[in-house]
Amino acid sequence: DGGITQSPKYLFRKEGQNVTLSCEQNLNHDAMYWYRQDPGQGLRLIYYSQIVNDFQKGDIAEGYSVSREKKESFPLTVTSAQKNPTAFYLCASSPSVGGNQPQHFGDGTRLSIL
Amino acid sequence: DAKTTQPPSMDCAEGRAANLPCNHSTISGNEYVYWYRQIHSQGPQYIIHGLKNNETNEMASLIITEDRKSSTLILPHATLRDTAVYYCIVRVAEFGNEKLTFGTGTRLTIIP
């Protein structure tokens, strides 16, 4: 089935450690996105990418990094510079950036600090 | 993007139609209305979207008023699996406006 796969579902990070969250899609979508969701709050955009080897900062990019080496993959690295990384991270994709087609989401990765 | 207002919670009996309202009185002519839902600990699920005409798909119907200041999401025959938080989002579909702004949504509970 076509869809977006995020892994792992749960992730624990030690202080000062970088961690990478995986996001893979087989929908042949050009655009991919990373959001962060905190308890009881809405989603905040971290980064998005409209095409391979290109990405743009969202509202809260500080302390995060991304890469887009393949169309189907958009991994997110949470660096030690992110002081409050505990959150639910959601990856999404859409056919293209700027269109009215909806974004479709994966099932998320919940990151916690040990 | 225009702001949306939704009731914080609603109940609906299983098998009945669930009608979820959304107010977006400041919507502009090029803003689309999107509906998503989120079940606890899962990613948001896209339901439906529209600009000015009513829309229907296999999941739901979207009714947008003629002045576009409000809309209603209709789940025609609610089941227990429809229990979730439902989000109404208004967004201009243009390059550079990529984020989806989720408000607090409506927590819909389907009652057996």
- Strand pairing partners for B109? B11
Q: Let me know: does A108 contact A25? Beta carbons within 8 Å.
A: no
Provide the 3-class DSSP secondary structure of residue B82: helix
Contacts (Cβ under 8 Å, ≥6 apart) of A30: A50, A51, A71, A94, A95, A96, A97
By the 10 Å C-beta count (0-12 exposed, 13-18 middle, 19+ buried), B8 is classed as exposed
A97 touches chain B (CB under 8 A): yes
Q: With contact defined as beta carbons under 8 Å apart, do A37 and B99 qualify?
A: no
Tokens of B104: 């607090």
- Residues A35 and A19: beta-carbon distance below 8 Å: no
pLDDT recorded at residue B29:
87
> A2 pLDDT band (50/70/90 cuts)?
low
For chains A and B, count residue pairs whose Cβ atoms are closer than 8 Å: 61
- Assess whether pLDDT exceeds 80 at residue B93: no
What token pair was written down for A61?
């990019």
When CB atoms are compared, the residue of A42, A45, A108 closest to B103 is A42
Q: How confident is the model at residue B99 (pLDDT cuts 50, 70, 90)?
A: confident
Predicted pLDDT of residue A42: 83
Q: What is the pLDDT of residue A98?
A: 75
How confident is the model at residue B18, as a pLDDT?
A: 98
Average pLDDT, chain B: 92
Check if A93 contacts B (Cβ < 8 Å): no
Query: Is B41–A110 a contact, with Cβ atoms under 8 angstroms apart?
Result: yes
Q: How far apart are CA A56 and CA A52, in angstroms?
A: 12
Instruction: Specify the pLDDT at position B1.
Output: 62
Across A20-42, average pLDDT:
93
| Residues of chain B positioned with their CB less than 8 A from the CB of A42 | 87, 101-104
Those residues of chain B whose CB sits closer than 8 Å to some CB in chain A are 32, 34, 41-46, 49, 51, 87, 93-104
In tens, the pLDDT along A54-113 reads 999 999 999 999 999 999 999 999 998 888 999 999 999 999 877 788 999 999 999 998
Res. A8: pLDDT tops 80: yes
> Which of these, B76, B68, B70, lies nearest to B51 by C-alpha position?
B68
Determine the distance in angstroms separating the CA of B18 from the nearest CA of chain A, rounded to an integer: 23
Cβ distance B98 to A104 less than 8 Å, yes or no, reads no
B112 confidence band (pLDDT: 50, 70, 90)? very high
Chain A residues closer than 8 Å to B96 by CB: 98
The distance of B102 to chain A (nearest Cα, Å) reads 5
Alpha-carbon span A3 to A5, nearest angstrom: 7
pLDDT tens, A35-71? Answer: 999 987 888 999 999 999 999 999 999 999 999 999 9
Q: Cα–Cα distance between B40 and A79 in angstroms, integer?
A: 27
- Strands across the sheet containing B45-50: B9-13, B106-111, B84-92, B31-38, B45-50
Amino acid symbol at B31: E
